[in-house]
Amino acid sequence: MRMRSRLGGRGRFLRAGARQLTDGWHDLETFLGQVSPSAIRRKQASSTLYRPSDAELTRIQSILVRILTENIVPFWYPSTVDTEDGGYRANHDLQGRWKGPANKSIVSQARNLWFYSRLARSQYGTHEHLRAASHGHEFLRGSMWDAEFGGFYWEVDPTGRRPTQSFKHVYGQAMALYALSEYAVASGDTSAITLSDQLFRNLEDHAHDPEYGGYHEFFQRDWGPPSPEDANPLGRHIAPNMKTTNAHVHLLESITRYCGLSEDSVARQRLIELILVMTSATVHKKLGACRQLFLDNWAPLRGAGHNRVSYGHDVEGIWLLMEALKVANQPNPLLLDLYRTVFGYAVRYGFDRRAGGFYTEGRPRRAADRREKVWWVQAEALLSALHMYVLTRERTYFECFRQTLGWISARQVDWENKEWFAEVDGGTARGNKAGAWKDPYHNGRAMIECLALLEGRKW
């Protein structure tokens, strides 16, 4: 289906804003040259800084606010809050029409809870959004928590009365820990603190790998090894003894947030360990990008089917590492060379030089071959680019932020039916607006956190 817009005067304003964001930076080769190692040394020697004008920052903030308050929030609230069975509805087609009751996954339910909690703490949230978060917390605690063995079921039926997939995967547990920690901060609800403590202890007792570091990922309901018929929700090709960059990125973000809530010394140790995992074990040193699949001893899987680079996970990992180092009381300049290398690789091979935005995947040192633009990749790249600019004050990163926002505003956002298109390939939008993996967490977070960086700037 072709994307259309019927916005009238407001649509013309937003399209004009998007053009202003992308104009003036068509020569991406200049950017790529600036992020090469030799150019980095020249730039460091010259200490060239960039300060966008107040008018430009005001325009950018206006676009971010509009996307958050007029596109993302109205789609999700209040219509996806399930007042009959609890939790949140997430089964909406390309136009945003609800397709009827569907099973509820811990990933989607937790991410909705996180979004409402974080929104409520921002200047764009209200008490109603905190009530929506409380509603989701009750569903997680009452319907998705496994009272016998601990941890959260992967999926329950639409009513929440029966688990439909009772296995445990650390990806889902990480999302729940992230959401519970954020909700506890937003609400002060002591039951959320207690449940987050229990969940962290489950991860420590059953999933942490004391021999090689990081976490084992996939378990049966009782935390035993999965049975052969249990398909790994991250992909059937991922065996029970494998570890993934994907799951460990989200463990990093969740334990970072949990450490901001708790003073648990073991959680602090795991945070440092995950920082090491994401800066050493997952990184292909010669390539300057992350591998995706590993054996339990962190030996990378090799071969044609495994030699893939996920630009979205790589750039997402950069800003999550920045947040982790802050909580760990470590200076981010210690990892600046790594940040530059990984970000520069993603731009060199995965950035759309003509229209802006990032493609999905590619083979090592090759141009992207999966060239659809997925909503979460754009959101994470946007936030990572702005974090890189705040850390370095260099124009290259601000320009990447600006042009990515131009793509998002002009093409990824569905201004007619609200929310973002799940993916855009050429001029065609595809995918559901809401589902087990599609929720307001990536794009809602990007808008809230980008606005926080811009509004709290000291530069």
User: 289-328 pLDDT, tens per residue?
Assistant: 999 999 999 999 987 778 899 999 999 999 999 999 999 9
SS (H, E, C) 69-80: HHHHHHHHCCCC
Q: How far is CA 315 from CA 171, 252, 259, 437, in A?
A: 18, 14, 22, 19
Q: How confident is the model at residue 40 (pLDDT cuts 50, 70, 90)?
A: very low
pLDDT at 21: 57
> How many angstroms separate the CA atoms of 255 and 261, rounded?
10
pLDDT at 46: 37
The number of beta carbons lying within 10 Å of the beta carbon of residue 336 is: 16
Range in 16-20, 86-90, 109-113 the model is least confident about? 16-20
Task: Provide the residue ranges of all domains of the chain, joining segments of one domain with +.
Answer: 8-455
pLDDT at 182: 98
Dihedral sign (CA 56, 62, 63, 68): positive
Query: Span 223-236, mean pLDDT?
Result: 90
Q: What is the mean pLDDT of the chain?
A: 91
Question: Is residue 31 scored above 70 in pLDDT?
Answer: no
Helix axes of 54-66 and 395-407: crossing angle, nearest 10 degrees: 40
Topology of the domain comprising 8-455: Glycosyltransferase (1.50.10)
Question: Is residue 330 scored above 70 in pLDDT?
Answer: yes
pTM over 0.85: yes
